[in-house]
Amino acid sequence: MAMAPTVKVVLGSIAFAVFWVLAVFPAVPFMPIGRTAGSLLGAMLMVLFQVLTPDQAYESIDLPILGLLFGTMVVSVYLERADMFKYLGKMLSWKSKGPKDLLCRICLFSAISSAFFTNDTSCVVLTEFVLKIAKQQNLPPHPFLLALASSANIGSATTPIGNPQNLVIALQSKIPFGKFLFGIVLATVVGICVNTLILLCMFWKVLSVQKDEEEPPIELAPEEDVNTHRFSPATMSHLTSENSRDYHDTMSCHSCPGVSGTKDATENGSLEKKDERVVSSMKESSDLGLEDIDEKSAKWKMILWKIGVYVITVGMLISFLVELNMSWTAITAALALMLLDFKDARPCLEKVSYLLLVFFCGMFVTVEGFNRTGIPSAIWDFMEPYSQIDQVTGVAILAVVILVLSNLASNVPTVLLLGSRVAAAAATISPEKEKKAWVSTVAGNLSLLGSAANLIVCEQARRAQNCGYNLTFWAHLKFGLPSTIIVTAIGLTLIRA
């Protein structure tokens, strides 16, 4: 693509710069409007500066990606209601053998969950739980938060639905779900292991600190539940003691001289009271029996509903593997879950991150406008001779460029800017090597700005009640820089093998 007129190049660059600043620094003092509004502002400026026409702006919005994002978010909401993430959290703490074991489990579960339910969703759900576990064991949350975010980013590289940039890559390059999965999975597994080893080496001393003897009484709640469940025997015991007292009172009246005139009245009154209490007890027992039946019925309905949710989710993943349309498959699964729930879906739909969908709409328009300036084409024309992916040096140069751009402009805009061009160039060399340039999706681990998942962990940790923690940019960079370089290099080697 030739360079656009100078005026459009300048105005398009200004619009993209506004989008970039607000996307990377959403709370800048001169315009603290946030990422979503910044994305819309960049899109509006592209149209206002006549870099794009309104029709071209609407056409640049990728509806299949939005549909897939929407469908997977709805499925994630129902999975959360079905306690999948709750069970995942319990597995994290089940028979834990210490801080190092806990760190390894967090890395593993974060990677697996992000591969199928996006890295952003995993980080939103698991961050506060990780903080609570760290506080319970009197451990600093820093290494565990890094484990959660970095493993989510690496694990999300495994599937096309693991993160937004993978969706873009898979849909633009038309790479089937199964081919994408089996082409990346080995690099992902090794990357997770290497990333975990780096974490253990960097924080070995911190993780070796013995926890204090005094710990929160986390078992009190279950004991209270058990005591509450024993309400019926306590009532029966109370009734027995009163009957016994009445019996002793009656016997005392029998043995008292001069009370024969009142004995019958006393016995009759006592018998009437006992009859009333027995009837009342039987009624209460009957009510409790009905309540038990209702509780059992509700419990079985909930179990069957959860099974249905899991079956539909597995069916969605199988449909991805057999190469059905991913966008419509995700939307179909979301609608099937709504029908299975058989109630108003508004509460679940309200939990969908529409801000993220709007952010993507604005970003699509902004990136398309910047592409039409001709600057990305000029950069690629300069870089292409040195970035041939059938050569080791070419792959290394391309990986470095994507690493840098991903942490300057974030990974999703980088993929949108260069994805189609790199894919086309790769296809001309060898269709089988088309996916090899994209293992550097783990570039998001380098800094807090490289991935939305990193920012989610940072914000969730800072706002968490009673266990908040501020994960700083430099604290993340000290770990992210060496980890990203090593994992990227190993991943590229494995995928080229």
Confidence of residue 388 (pLDDT cuts 50, 70, 90): low
- List the structure tokens of 313: 């989710």
Question: Shortest CA distance to 123 belongs to which of 478, 466, 448?
Answer: 448
pLDDT in tens, 288-302: 566 777 888 888 999
pLDDT of residue 127: 80
Distance CA 115, CA 348 (A): 22
pLDDT of residue 179: 80
- Decide if 43 contacts 362 (C-beta within 8 A): yes
Tell me the average pLDDT across 201-213.
Answer: 73
Question: Shortest CA distance to 334 belongs to which of 116, 75, 70?
Answer: 75
Distance CA 236, CA 243 (A): 11
Q: Can you tell me whether residue 391 is helix, strand or coil?
A: coil
pLDDT at 146 over 80: yes
pLDDT of residue 389: 61
pLDDT of residue 171: 72
Question: Shortest CA distance to 153 belongs to which of 457, 472, 471?
Answer: 457
Residue 204 lies in a domain: yes
Mean pLDDT across the chain: 76
Residue 363 lies in a domain: no
pLDDT of residue 122: 76
pLDDT of residue 289: 62
DSSP string, 253-278: HHHSTT-HHHHHHHHHHHHHHHHHHH
Confidence of residue 237 (pLDDT cuts 50, 70, 90): very low
- Decide if 445 contacts 145 (C-beta within 8 A): no
What percentage of residues in the chain have a pLDDT greater than 90?
A: 24
Which of 99-113, 353-367, 372-386 shows the lowest mean pLDDT across its residues? 372-386
pLDDT of residue 423: 61
pLDDT of residue 231: 29
What total number of domains does the chain contain?
A: 1
Residue 35 lies in a domain: no
Residue 265 lies in a domain: no
pLDDT of residue 144: 92
Residue 407 lies in a domain: yes
Which of 97-111, 222-236, 336-350 shows the lowest mean pLDDT across its residues? 222-236
Q: State how far the alpha carbon of 466 is from the alpha carbons of 114, 135, 136, 202, 461, in Å.
A: 26, 9, 11, 27, 10
- Decide if 140 contacts 202 (C-beta within 8 A): no
Cβ-proximal residues to 170 (8 Å cutoff; 6+ apart), any chain: 160, 177, 180, 326
DSSP string, 440-472: GGGGGGSSGGG-HHHHHHHHHHHH-SSS-----
pLDDT of residue 241: 41
pLDDT of residue 400: 79
pLDDT at 121 over 50: yes
pLDDT of residue 317: 84
CA dihedral 14→19→24→29, nearest 10 degrees, is: 80
pLDDT of residue 454: 81
pLDDT at 254 over 80: no
Residue 382 lies in a domain: yes
Residue 52 lies in a domain: no
pLDDT at 23 over 90: no
pLDDT at 154 over 80: yes
Domain that holds residue 177: 62-208+299-345+374-497
pLDDT in tens, 341-377: 999 999 999 988 788 789 889 988 998 898 899 887 7
Which of 104-108, 114-118, 285-289 shows the lowest mean pLDDT across its residues? 285-289
pLDDT at 279 over 70: no
pLDDT at 420 over 70: no
pLDDT of residue 91: 77
Residue 305 lies in a domain: yes
Q: State how far the alpha carbon of 228 is from the alpha carbons of 224, 234, 285, 419, in Å.
A: 6, 10, 16, 60
pLDDT of residue 107: 93
pLDDT at 52 over 90: yes
Looking at per-residue confidence, does 335 or 426 come out higher? 335
